[in-house]
Structure 1
Amino acid sequence: MLVCLFLGIILLDIFSKGFSSLSWDFISQSPGDRMTAGGILPAIIGTLWLTLITTLFSVPFGVACAIYLNEYADASALTGLIRSSIRNLAGIPSIIYGLFGLALFVQALRLGTSVLSAGLTLGLLSLPYIITTTEEALKRVPNSMREAALALGATQFESIRDVVLPKALPGILTGIVLTLSRAAGETAPILFTGVAFFISGVTTSVNQEFMALPYHLYMLSTQHQSIEQVRPLAYATAAVLILLVFLLNTLVFYIRYRHRSLD
């Protein structure tokens, strides 16, 4: 109840101060008049691009790593070192990932400042969390289910695919959505890898620079020359970002519900 109380206070503050600026034009138009008018469509599209690339990079690789560590790797000093390294990576400040993404994706791989570089950087940031939460979900599946599948003649791969993963899916999805929700709100990692304060039109290619809701919110709240004038726009931007995260959570909850219904 205490957590719900604080959540309610935060949502009430944001939506009450940004409601006057929320409209279809605000969502469907580009910014104008030195960011004091218009909408945030390029920032919404850029955030969706960013989340998509992060998902495509981090989810398959992260789930595969967790499956290997939990189902295939032997208990050894090397495996323990790998797990320890993954947990240490989860504690690295996000701005360090931004500098690493600048060095690796922007400069070394010559991808330039683009939504692709930023998405891959956020994918690296998300990997430790996805690996850890997926492995914990796999550990909660009883070993008796694996042994029963093997006793019936299934191979280890078939038992993982048909028995273990379906049972662990709700926990895996929860970890993924929490990680992607955090990545969608990150600002520091994308500062060096491709985000822009303003671009004309929406981003249509992974090789272009992009606008993003968290960076747009940061600039309106702290760096704009007319902060008081654009403050309602900043709160409205925060409200849209929260709504996008809630939609992502709702989609995953629906998938979990459907999966449990089929079970």
Structure 2
Amino acid sequence: MSTGKPSANAISGSHPFAARRSMNQLTNKLFTGIVWLIGICTILFIIALLYTILQKGLPQLDWGFLYGEPSEIEEGGGIGPVLFNSFYVLFISLIISIPLGMASGIYLAEFAPANKFIAFIRICVEGLASVPSIIFGLFGIVLFVESLDLGLTVIGAAISLAFLNLPVLTRVTEEAIRSVPQEMKQASFALGSTHLQTIRRVLIPVALNGIITGICLVAGRAFGESAVIILTGGVTSSGVMWDFNPLDPGATLAVHLWYVQSEAIVPDARLIAEKSAAVLVFIVLMINIVFRVPMWLNARKMR
């Protein structure tokens, strides 16, 4: 006759499960707390770093500094020509690297056969993405300064930066295209779309956020790059504010910051370095915000 009470075996059998469940919950809470702690510490460190850089330079900025010409001896020089060169070199490098990087990534994701040669190509691309930037600068010297005898120029710096960005854009595009659910691709084919139409109207729009994130990363890296520019564009500019000649010297703001901090003899070198660093960090932040706008618009469109 049953008394309605669980047997001893049932009770003893439930204890290990309950203990294991309690341990899993404790581990989950502990791991969540550690992740939150690391995340908060990282964010606070970044905020402190940005505040330290920006609070020294931003309050002292004026239009004369942003538009003025750099000075080699007298104090009060500006950053006008090198700031323009920074945007000019960045624009040319992105014009070259974005189409090539996206095309390469789409080919590897959609058209490349699954064989050892393509696997070797992927390994090479991943290897190039982790190569130090100074290696691309040395390549730029060999190609533009020595082989083509162009000297230190804007175009040499821009193309060298494009080579630096190309492997990253290729891998980011490939992974973004591969992350699109296969059901969406198959549905497009089922509706009669060609492969090209599927890529244009389905794969790229869905993968656009990942692609834009990659472009944002390489744009910020290229704007703040100095090693490649020093070796291929030089440490001086033409001194003209709106100089569109691609064969003129191509020193950028990052290079100017390095030069003022280490080589310049102007009396206010430290002040110029602080203001230049603030401008550089502020523009990199603005680049990230500007590239986020298409991502937000695309996310709203895809809803």
Give the TM-score, by structure 1 length.
0.94
Taking the aligned partners of 2:204 and 2:236, their CA distance within structure 1 comes to: 42
Q: Which has the larger radius of gyration?
A: 2
C-alpha contact (below 8 Å) 2:73/2:266 kept by paired residues: no
Q: Deviation at 1:69? A: 0.2
Q: Which position in structure 1 is the counterpart of 2:294?
A: 255
C-alpha contact (below 8 Å) 2:229/2:251 kept by paired residues: no
Equivalent pairs, count = 262
Q: Is residue 208 from structure 1 mapped to residue 248 from structure 2 by the alignment?
A: yes
Q: Which position in structure 2 is the counterpart of 1:233?
A: 272
| Letter paired with 1:34 | I
Match of 2:185 among 108, 126, 146: 146
Quote the RMSD (CA, aligned, Å). Answer: 1.6
Match of 1:221 among 261, 272, 276: 261
Match of 2:129 among 90, 96, 103: 90
C-alpha contact (below 8 Å) 2:226/2:255 kept by paired residues: yes
Taking the TM superposition and a 5 Å limit, the aligned residue runs for 1:19-38 are: 19-32=58-71, 34=73, 36-38=75-77
Taking the aligned partners of 1:111 and 1:3, their CA distance within structure 2 comes to: 44
| Letter paired with 2:259 | M
Taking the aligned partners of 1:108 and 1:261, their CA distance within structure 2 comes to: 49
| Letter paired with 1:169 | L
Taking the aligned partners of 1:153 and 1:199, their CA distance within structure 2 comes to: 56
C-alpha contact (below 8 Å) 2:129/2:168 kept by paired residues: yes
Q: Which position in structure 1 is the counterpart of 2:108?
A: 69
Indicate the percent of aligned positions where both proteins have the same amino acid: 35
Taking the aligned partners of 1:75 and 1:127, their CA distance within structure 2 comes to: 22
Match of 1:17 among 56, 69, 73: 56
- Say which SS state the counterpart of residue 39 (structure 1) adopts: coil
Residue 7 to residue 112, structure 1, CA distance change in 2 (3 Å): same
| Letter paired with 2:223 | A
Q: Is residue 116 from structure 1 mapped to residue 155 from structure 2 by the alignment?
A: yes
Taking the aligned partners of 1:215 and 1:30, their CA distance within structure 2 comes to: 15
| Letter paired with 1:40 | I
Q: Deviation at 1:208? A: 1.1
C-alpha contact (below 8 Å) 1:114/1:209 kept by paired residues: yes
C-alpha contact (below 8 Å) 1:98/1:189 kept by paired residues: yes
Taking the aligned partners of 2:71 and 2:142, their CA distance within structure 1 comes to: 33
Q: Deviation at 1:86? A: 0.4
Q: Which position in structure 1 is the counterpart of 2:202?
A: 163
Q: Deviation at 1:235? A: 1.2
Taking the aligned partners of 1:197 and 1:79, their CA distance within structure 2 comes to: 42
Residue 159 to residue 116, structure 1, CA distance change in 2 (3 Å): same
| Letter paired with 1:237 | S
- Say which SS state the counterpart of residue 217 (structure 1) adopts: helix
Extract unaligned runs of 5+ from structure 1: none
Q: Deviation at 1:177? A: 0.7
Q: Deviation at 1:33? A: 5.9
Q: Deviation at 1:198? A: 4.8
Q: Deviation at 1:226? A: 4.8
| Letter paired with 1:199 | S
Taking the aligned partners of 1:5 and 1:246, their CA distance within structure 2 comes to: 16
Q: Deviation at 1:14? A: 1.1
Q: Deviation at 1:196? A: 2.7
Write out per-residue CA displacement over residues 196-246 of structure 1, whole angstroms, 9 at most, x where no aligned residue: 33532233211211231110000111122357x321210110111112111
Residue 121 to residue 251, structure 1, CA distance change in 2 (3 Å): same
C-alpha contact (below 8 Å) 2:112/2:118 kept by paired residues: yes
Write out per-residue CA displacement over residues 53-108 of structure 1, whole angstroms, 9 at most, x where no aligned residue: 11011110000000000011111101110000001111211111101011112332
Taking the aligned partners of 1:254 and 1:23, their CA distance within structure 2 comes to: 28
Q: Is residue 43 from structure 1 mapped to residue 79 from structure 2 by the alignment?
A: no
C-alpha contact (below 8 Å) 1:97/1:121 kept by paired residues: yes
Q: Which position in structure 1 is the counterpart of 2:283?
A: 244
